[in-house]
């Protein structure tokens, strides 16, 4: 079972509202630092403009693009991104998890079903903050991948690392068909699109129920 992260494991829109409030509070009191808001904007924008992009060192390139636009050092870009995108949201992640997601991960582990994370953004600290764990975590900027969704390299690396020979035995769960869905299609892996309204109610609870029923049936 392979999962995307943002919008797939938690309510991304709710987290964004929280972070917008935090940003406004912080920079209203520090107007001289307003350029950091431009860094956040251009970092995301440049990445969004490069779907299907493959490079030789994506981990560094992603900071060089906005640095060139804003005429600043990549190290400055990296510091702001680390603070606001990879650290500041973490304390709030557990409160915006979709219902049943923690139990679903527990059930998968109980039945010996391997789990993997594949996100365009690094997710190690996020997953820890959510209280979730997976057998493998892969990011698009990983040296083994170096490509953004919907290029399928990340999923293919997961298949290689987990030694999965039959793609039909996998399921990739994501919230954006134009990225996650096409990525799965190109990799030849079945895909489940997260409907946020259903996920907000019982998607993962229902998946756990189906998993348990299926396992009980097989035991019979």
For residue 78, pLDDT over 60 is answered with yes
What is the predicted pLDDT for the residue at 214? 75
Look at residues 166, 170, 167 and name the one whose alpha carbon lies nearest to residue 135.
170
Average pLDDT, the chain: 94
CA–CA dist 26, 150 (Å, integer): 35
Question: Could you read off the pLDDT of 113-149 as tens digits, one per residue?
Answer: 999 999 999 999 999 999 999 999 999 999 999 999 9
DSSP conformational letter for 142: S
Q: Which CATH class is domain 2-11+95-219?
A: alpha beta
The pLDDT, as a whole number, for residue 216 is 57
Instruction: Using alpha carbons, select from 39, 37, 17 the residue that is nearest to residue 26.
Output: 37
Q: Where are the domains of the chain?
A: 2-11+95-219, 13-91
- Which whole number is the average pLDDT over 57-74? 97
Pairing state between β 191-193 and 2-3: unpaired
pLDDT digits (tens, 9 = 90+) for 138-186: 999 999 999 999 999 999 999 999 999 899 999 999 999 999 999 999 9
- Count of other CB atoms within 10 angstroms of residue 56: 8
The answer to whether the CB of 171 falls within 8 A of the CB of 191 is: yes
User: How many helices (H) and strands (E) in the chain?
Assistant: 11, 5
Structural contact between residues 42 and 211, judged by C-beta atoms closer than 8 angstroms: no
pLDDT at 220 over 50: no
Q: Are 154 and 134 in contact (CB under 8 A)?
A: no
Phi, psi of 192 (to 5 degrees): -120, 120
Looking at residue 62, what is its pLDDT? 97
Task: Please answer whether residues 75 and 116 qualify as being in contact, where contact means their C-beta atoms are separated by less than 8 angstroms.
Answer: no
Quick: pLDDT tens for 6-35.
999 999 999 999 999 999 999 999 999 999
């Amino acid at each position: 079972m392979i999962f995307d992260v943002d919008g797939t494991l938690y309510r991304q829109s709710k987290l964004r509202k929280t972070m917008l409030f935090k940003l406004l509070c912080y920079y209203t009191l520090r107007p001289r630092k307003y350029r950091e808001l431009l860094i956040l904007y251009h970092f995301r924008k440049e990445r969004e403009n490069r779907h299907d992009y493959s490079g030789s060192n994506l981990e560094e390139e992603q900071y060089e693009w906005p640095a060139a636009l804003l005429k600043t050092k990549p190290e400055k870009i990296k510091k702001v991104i680390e603070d606001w995108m990879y650290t500041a949201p973490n304390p709030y992640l557990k409160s915006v998890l979709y219902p049943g997601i923690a139990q679903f991960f527990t059930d998968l582990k109980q039945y010996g079903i391997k789990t993997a994370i594949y996100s365009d953004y690094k997710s190690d600290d996020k997953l820890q903050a959510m209280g979730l764990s997976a057998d493998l975590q892969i990011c698009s900027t990983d040296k083994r991948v170096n490509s953004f969704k919907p290029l399928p390299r990340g999923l293919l690396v997961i298949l290689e690392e987990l030694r999965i020979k039959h793609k039909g035995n996998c399921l990739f769960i994501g919230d954006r068909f134009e990225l996650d869905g096409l990525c799965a299609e190109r990799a030849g892996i079945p895909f489940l699109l997260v409907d946020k309204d259903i996920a907000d109610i019982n998607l993962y609870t229902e998946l756990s129920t189906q998993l348990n029923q299926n396992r009980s049936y097989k035991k019979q």
